[in-house]
Structure formats: C-alpha cells, structure tokens
C-alpha cells in the first residue's frame, strides 16, 4: 500500500481488522524499502500506526524478501477512468513497487489493484497507459465501488530501459539489482 495520506483510512481499517499492511518507504529510499505493520506486533492503535509517521515509528522496516504474499494492492491516484487507467503523482513509485513485488512473486496475476479517489477524480478522457503503468481492478469513492475489467496488461517486471540512471542511483534496491544485471 502506498504511504500517501488519502489511503490512511484504508490502512487503519485493515489494521483494525487484523490484517498485515505493507507500506512502501517514501521514494523507496531505503535498503529495506517496505514497512510491515503487523497488528499483532504494533504497540499502538491502528489509527496511530496508519499515518506515515506512525508506520515509521511502530512498523518494522523489511527487505523485499521478507514481504509476505500480498492479497490486495492499494495505490494512490490523481485521476482515473472507468477503463482502469490511472495517473499517479508522476514519480512512477507505485509502478516500481508493483514491479518489484511482482518480480519477487509477492503479487500474483489475480491480485486486485484498487485505488480510492473522490468522484471528481474520475475522468471520461482517455488516460495513456505505458508498459510499466499498473491498471486498476476497482475504484473506491465515498459513494460507490466500481469494479473494472481493464484491457491493459499488467507490468511483469522492472523495465530497466525506461528508468533514468539517476532514479536507479537514488533507490538502493534498484542500485543493487542493476549491479547484478551487468
């Protein structure tokens, strides 16, 4: 799950229901790029643990190898359409998180990908999708759940040729993987 504030209520509800939540470290800037929030192990309320600060304080930083199988992906979106296309904030971090977890076998081909948005963020226009963009399975708004059957393929891996070297250099897990690719 992304660390953004609009998804905090979803993190809080998942924790309150006893589910383990994995949240990406902002910009993946750690050799342990995910934070595990296990409600059986955190020593605070789900509300406190669900914030970015709370997750950092009460969660456990983990490597990609330590992440357990993911049952649901929740990503943030700036705009979406009813075909399952989405636009994030433009950094590509949700796509990278998804690619890393897919390559590691933590996300399967049927794992749902959901976003929560306000109804005003649903646009009628086409949203261009590239090979690394993640398509949505559902959209949650304050008033409805929209199930989708996107015509877009899911990314299967990291598309190295599309990554600028400076991004690889800024993200420890990518730097490590790039060395092993040579």
Q: How far, in Å, are 63, 69, 76, 80, 175 from residue 117 at the CA level?
A: 29, 25, 8, 8, 33
pLDDT tens digits for 36-69?
999 999 999 999 999 999 999 999 999 999 999 9
Beta-strand (E) ranges in 16-175? 21-24, 34-37, 60-62, 73-75, 79-80, 86-87, 113-116, 138-140, 145-147
Q: Where are the domains of the chain?
A: 5-66, 73-181
Query: Residues near 175 by Cβ (< 8 Å), separated by ≥ 6?
Result: 168, 169
Above pLDDT 70, what percent of the chain? 99
Q: Give the residue-averaged pLDDT of 145-170.
A: 93
- pLDDT surpasses 80 at 2: no
Banded model confidence at residue 182, pLDDT cuts 50, 70, 90: low
Euclidean distance between CA atoms 54 and 12, whole angstroms: 11
Residue with tokens 């955190």: 42
- pTM attached to this predicted model: 0.91
pLDDT tens digits for 60-75?
999 999 999 999 999 9
Banded model confidence at residue 1, pLDDT cuts 50, 70, 90: low
Sheet holding 21-24, edge to edge: 21-24, 34-37, 60-62
């Amino acid at each position: 799950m992304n660390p953004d504030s609009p998804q905090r209520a979803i993190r809080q509800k998942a924790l309150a229901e006893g589910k383990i939540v994995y949240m990406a470290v902002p910009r993946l800037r750690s050799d342990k790029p995910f934070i595990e929030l296990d409600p059986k192990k955190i020593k605070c309320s789900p509300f406190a643990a669900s914030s970015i600060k709370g997750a950092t304080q009460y969660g456990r930083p983990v490597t990609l190898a330590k992440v357990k199988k993911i049952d649901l992906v929740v990503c943030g979106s700036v705009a979406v359409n009813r075909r399952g296309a989405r636009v994030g904030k433009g950094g590509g971090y949700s796509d990278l998180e998804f690619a890393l977890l897919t390559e590691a076998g933590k996300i399967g081909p049927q794992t749902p990908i959901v976003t929560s948005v306000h109804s005003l963020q649903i646009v009628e226009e086409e949203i261009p999708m590239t090979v690394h963009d993640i398509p949505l399975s559902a959209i949650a708004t304050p008033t409805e759940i929209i199930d989708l059957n996107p015509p877009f393929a899911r990314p299967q891996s990291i598309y190295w040729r599309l990554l600028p070297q400076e991004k690889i250099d800024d993200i420890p897990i990518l730097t490590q993987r790039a060395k092993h690719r040579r």
